[in-house]
Amino acid sequence: MIGKACFLLSLLQAVVSGQWSADNPGAVTAQNGLCARIPCHYKYPSYLKNKPRTGIWFNSETQSVAFHSRNHSVISRKFQHRTRLSGVLRHNDCSLVIDNVMQQDTDFTDKPTIFPAEMEAGQPVNMTCIFNTTCDGTAPTLTWVTPADEPPSASRSVTQWRDTLTYTSVLSLTPALKHHGQNLTCRVTYPTVSSEQILTMAVEYAPQNLSITSPDDVNSSWVSVKEGTSAVILCSVQSFPASNLTWRHLGVTLNATRSNNELWMEFPQLTRQDAGVYQCVAENEHGTAERDVTLTVEYAPQNLSITFPDNVNSSRVIVKAGNSAAILCSVQSFPTSNLTWGHLGVTLNTTRSSNELWMEFPQLTRQDAGVYQCVAENEHGTAERDVTVTVECE
């Protein structure tokens, strides 16, 4: 605050009457190190139009002369060479400018203003910063501090409307995805003081880095879960603004959320019918991203069957001696089973990770007759079945 009641105007020709009036603010806030302008306009009797006049400003706290338009020697040492009129007295303008305000208890609190603009990754944008002041003395400098890899490119201009000077700087930049969340600073600088305004950059971009994760088992785009258990699968993405997320299966929407970069898909109790390909789609106003995940449901061997191309009667196969024969053991399981054919405690044939196994007889004899057993096994369990081979003589 300049003085207790700022400065008062005194005109040597002043006469206390209703024909005289002055219009100036009751107080003016100034910043340490800057100049300050106190607007002032007055009216006087028309018959004094061509009379000489003198403008005098006083410091109301010390009653010292801050400005004298005719006699500079009476100006207080404190204000010597620091005060001047910005207007012309004969034009009814008595506005005062004080350069280099030096009040010790005054901090520079005026800040520039950044006008936010929508930023999209890879698209050029202009950012505007302005600083308003009523002081036409020392001119400020507006500069930008950016996180960009290249030095900032900015244009500068000054405009005036009535008593206000507006300093404008327009920054041209092309924001990148990596600049999202970083700071953009506009700084106003005077010879002895400065202030700044900081804007956190919100760079909009299409969905990227879509990922699918699960607490169970994730191998690239494959999720494998045991039948009968519960499962949850998370789809997450990076985007700004946040994406609309959707889970789909066989062309049907299962789950969706708006303006959220995460979406869970839950299975309270998995069955083999839940197995298949699921798709997560992320979309915002700038683009779309999608990814598939294959859900497999693991289970122990089931529905083990034994078949014979020529003759199958329940668990009995009848073949004439001297003929060939082939018997197929097949099973349903995931992961695939290890299959074994055995006879009288002896392993005849095995295969790993295959749900089918043939047992072949090139030429049957009576010694081949008997009970044969097929065993299927994976990490979740075992299944087995017997078949009796009967060899008929001619």
The mean-pLDDT minimum among 111-125, 264-278, 303-317, 371-385 falls in: 303-317
The mean-pLDDT minimum among 8-12, 166-170, 208-212 falls in: 8-12
- End-to-end CA, the chain: 127
Q: State the DSSP H helix or E strand holding residue 334, giving kind and residue range, or none if neither.
A: strand 325-334
261: amino acid identity, one letter? N
- pLDDT recorded at residue 380: 94
- pLDDT recorded at residue 310: 63
- pLDDT recorded at residue 233: 92
pLDDT for 328 beyond 90: yes
What b/e sequence results for 42-81 when a residue is b if at least 16 CB atoms lie within 10 Å of its CB, and e otherwise?
Answer: bebeeeeeeeebebbbbbeeeeebbbbbeeeeebbeebee
pTM: 0.62
Cα dihedral 220, 224, 225, 231 sign:
positive
- pLDDT recorded at residue 148: 66
Kindly give the pairing relationship between strand 183-189 and strand 218-219.
Answer: unpaired
Which carries the bigger pLDDT value, residue 44 or residue 383? 383
- pLDDT recorded at residue 105: 35
- pLDDT recorded at residue 2: 42
Most confident region among 117-131, 216-230, 298-312 by mean pLDDT = 117-131
Taking the C-alpha atoms of residue 361 and residue 372, their distance in angstroms, rounded to an integer, is 12
Residue-wise pLDDT for 87-144, tens only, equals 888 888 888 888 887 654 365 678 999 998 999 999 999 999 999 988 777 789 999 9
Domains, the chain, ranges and CATH?
Answer: 7-98 (2.60.40.10), 113-201 (2.60.40.10), 205-298 (2.60.40.10), 308-392 (2.60.40.10)
Taking the C-alpha atoms of residue 34 and residue 38, their distance in angstroms, rounded to an integer, is 13
Cα dihedral 345, 349, 355, 356 sign:
negative
Instruction: Specify the DSSP class assigned to residue 93.
Output: B
Contacts of 85 (CB under 8 A, 6+ apart): 55, 67, 69, 93, 94, 95, 96, 97
What are the φ/ψ torsions at residue 16 (nearest 5 degrees)? -70, 105
Structure tokens at 67: 């400005």
Query: How far, CA to CA in Å, does 10 sit from each of 170, 212, 298?
Result: 43, 79, 98
What are the φ/ψ torsions at residue 171 (nearest 5 degrees)? -95, 130
Surface-to-core class of residue 281, CB atoms within 10 Å of its CB (0-12 exposed, 13-18 middle, 19+ buried): buried
Residue-wise pLDDT for 252-292, tens only, equals 999 999 989 999 999 999 999 999 999 999 999 999 999 99
